[in-house]
Amino acid sequence: MNRLLPILKIHVLIGILLYCGQASEAATTIEELYKNSCAQCHGVNLEGGNAQSLVDAVWQFGSKKSHIARNVKYGIADFSMPAFENALSDREINQIIDYIFEKEKKEGAIKPPPPEKLFTLDYEIRIQVLAKGLEIPWGITFIDSETILVTERPGHLRIIERGKLNPDSVAGIPKVLHEGQGGLLDVAVDPKYSENGWIYLAYSHALPEPGQQRPPAMTRIVRGRLVGNRWQDQQVVYEAPHELYRETRQHYGCRIVFDPDGYLYFSIGDRGAGGQAQELGRPNGKIHRVHRDGSIPTSNPFHNQSEALSTIFAYGNRNPQGLAVHPITGRVWESEHGPMGGDELNLISAGRNYGWSTITFGRDYDGGQVSKFRRKPGMETPNLYWKPSIAVCGIDFVRGNLFPRWQNHLLVGALKYEEVRLLDIQGNQVIHQEIILKNAGRVRDVACGPDGAVYIVLNGPGMILKLIPVRDLNVSD
């Protein structure tokens, strides 16, 4: 059964009982520490009670120990979970988490498979596992209603044709730097694919510098054609100046979209250097716009500024891993990872500064302050932000006739919270959001296919889900 409104779980494991944290001072063993702080809600044997079981392999707000510890320490305001940084020490929090993990291991807990159906406010939906056994799938796009392309971060492009995954990956894909958060990222099909056959790839590109153990890298965009199961005719669409490549291995971005005028937009994360997102002479922390062949539009906002890179369309973005074009307005929407809190949804406008890292609604991973400012003149505040971070990722608008009640609503994927959300946007305001899928896995990308179905890319457990409406719940039988 779909958990639309999940009961608080691990991050509530100490949360609801703030006053019980004081009792931990008297605890002499880890088991006693758990019983004094958590058992009244989660059960003496972690089986659940007022709150959910802690040994069922389902984690509502991130399964990594660091996620759990941060949420226990700093709280989850959206779910009325208080912060426990003054009630329990870091050592005590980690002891309790270790105790729970050990219990879960002894129980042999196995994460349940995705549900076969779910119920939203509008539809009863059937879930089909379209493909499984993928290795860190990252991006998805459609050549036509029967042919799907999926990237795997280690450097493979896969084809799903007529509902079946080709066991062989596409040959000839460019070499990617698969380290940290890098690898083969997004894939997109040219708006005029039927005429030209172009397919676009985004990936982390390392400079071939012999003898260097940690070569500098940056996000790169290329295009090529599929001839059978082979990548051919490759052309470089975007490559940053080599002196601006970085040795860091995080925050590459990257999504690719096309607006109604045929411009190609792509995102590059700050590469772990937040301040550089404000520097117009650097590619990182930006949304870029080029023609599909890589040439630069003269209408770009910084085209005539000698100190700026002329591909830049907007700047001040931390790690944008979602781009989508509104079906009616043609405007570009962007989602980006915040640090601990401060995930953002932004409506992108030419030349605007979106503030990172000068303004943010998040805090650093150690709980420290990134910036004391949330707003500043001349900087855009997000249309929506999530605090704590849901690890927002791919986004796409619903199109077609399959989900008429969701027409032009925005699908939003979340990694840490393992969610797909549906946002109702009127103008530039989000007026409602609904969780339509929870705990199926880490959602890296979401897409609405040519058939109108909703497709979901799960990093873990490495599968593609297809959502199809069975019944409109607002229509009487």
**Which CATH number goes with the domain that contains 345?**
2.120.10.30
Tell me what pLDDT residue 99 has: 84
Residue 385 lies in a domain: no
Q: Is residue 1 part of a domain?
A: no
Mean pLDDT to the nearest integer, 146-175? 98
Q: What is the pLDDT of residue 153?
A: 98
Please list, in sequence order, all residues whose beta carbon lies within 8 angstroms of the beta carbon of residue 102, skipping any fewer than 6 positions away.
Answer: none
pLDDT tens digits, one per residue of 292-326: 999 999 999 999 999 999 999 999 999 999 999 99
For residue 61, tell me if it sits in a domain: yes
pLDDT for 360 equals 97
Kindly report the average pLDDT of the chain as a whole number. 90
User: Could you give the strand order of the β-sheet that contains 117-119, starting from the edge strand earlier in sequence?
Assistant: 117-119, 123-132, 463-472, 454-458, 443-448
Q: How confident is the model at residue 284 (pLDDT cuts 50, 70, 90)?
A: very high
What average pLDDT does range 373-395 have in this prediction?
A: 96
- 161: nearest Cα among 140, 176, 144: 144
Top-confidence residue, 12 or 201: 201
Residue range of the domain that includes 399: 113-150+390-477
Residue 284, classed as helix, strand or coil, is coil
Q: Is the pLDDT of residue 44 over 90?
A: no
For residues 220 and 287, membership in a common domain is answered with yes
Transcribe 427-473 into DSSP letters: TTEEEEEEEEEESSS-EEEEEE-TTS-EEEEETTTTEEEEEEEEEET
Co-location of 71 and 134 in the same domain: no
Task: Write down the pLDDT at residue 5.
Answer: 38
- Omega prior to 388 cis, within 30 of 0: yes
Mean pLDDT of 276-284: 98
Residue 39 banded pLDDT, cuts 50, 70, 90 = low
Q: Is the pLDDT of residue 461 over 50?
A: yes
- Of residues 34 and 391, more confidently modeled: 391
Catalytic, out of 11, 67, 156, 251: 251
**Total number of domains constituting the chain:** 3
User: Same domain, yes or no, for 317 and 334?
Assistant: yes
Residue given tokens 């912060």 in the structure block: 83
- The full length of the chain comes to 477
Token readout for 276 is 């550089």
pLDDT at 66 over 90: no
Q: Are residues 92 and 215 in the same domain?
A: no
Query: In 3-state terms, the chain is what percent helix, strand and coil (to 5)?
Result: 15, 35, 50
**pLDDT exceeds 50 at position 124:** yes
Residue 110: the pLDDT is: 81
How many angstroms separate the Cα of 13 from the Cα of each of 20, 50, 171?
11, 11, 48
Judged against a pLDDT cut of 50, whether residue 75 lies above it is answered with yes
Listed residues 379, 401, 428: the one ending a domain: 379
193, 342: one domain: yes
pLDDT (0 to 100) of residue 51: 64
Does one domain contain both 129 and 257? no
Is the pLDDT at 250 greater than 80, yes or no? yes
More confident residue, 133 or 92: 133
pLDDT for res 7: 40
Residue 4 belongs to some domain of the structure: no
Per-residue pLDDT, 79: 63
Per-residue pLDDT tens over the stretch 193-238: 999 999 999 999 999 877 778 999 999 999 999 999 999 999 999 9
The answer, yes or no, to whether residue 396 has pLDDT greater than 50, is yes
Residue 91 maps to which CATH number? 1.10.760.10
80: left (phi over 0), alpha (psi -120 to 50) or beta: left
Does residue 104 carry a pLDDT above 90?
no
Are both 131 and 236 inside the same structural domain? Answer: no
* pLDDT value for 41: 63
Answer with the one of 54, 78, 107 that is the final residue of a domain: 107
pLDDT, tens digit (0-9, with 9 covering 90-100), for 46-61: 766 656 677 777 777 8
pLDDT-derived band of residue 477, with 50, 70 and 90 as boundaries? low
Q: Is residue 158 part of a domain?
A: no
Please give the backbone phi and psi of residue 226, each rounded to the nearest 5 degrees, phi first. -95, 125
Same structural domain for residues 346 and 410?
no
Q: Looking at residue 58, what is its pLDDT?
A: 72
Distance CA 155, CA 170 (A): 10
Q: Which amino acid does the sequence have at 152?
A: E
Q: Inform me whether the pLDDT recorded for 40 exceeds 50.
A: yes
Query: 175 and 140 in one domain?
Result: no
Residues 176 and 262 in one domain: yes
User: Angle at the Cα of 49 (from 48 to 54), degrees rounded to 5?
Assistant: 20
- Is 326 considered catalytic here? no
How much is the pLDDT for 80? 63
Residues 355 and 428 in one domain: no
Domain presence at residue 160: no
Residue 165 makes CB contacts below 8 A (sequence gap 6+) with 131, 133, 134, 158, 159
Question: Which has more confidence, 419 or 208?
Answer: 419
- Averaged pLDDT for residues 116-136: 97
Residue 159 lies in a domain: no
Average pLDDT over residues 424-451: 97
The least confident of 48-52, 88-92, 272-276, 468-472 is: 48-52
Q: Are both 361 and 293 inside the same structural domain?
A: yes
Task: Return d(Cα 128, Cα 370) in angstroms, integer.
Answer: 42
Q: Which ranges of 75-152 would DSSP assign to H, the alpha helix?
A: 90-107
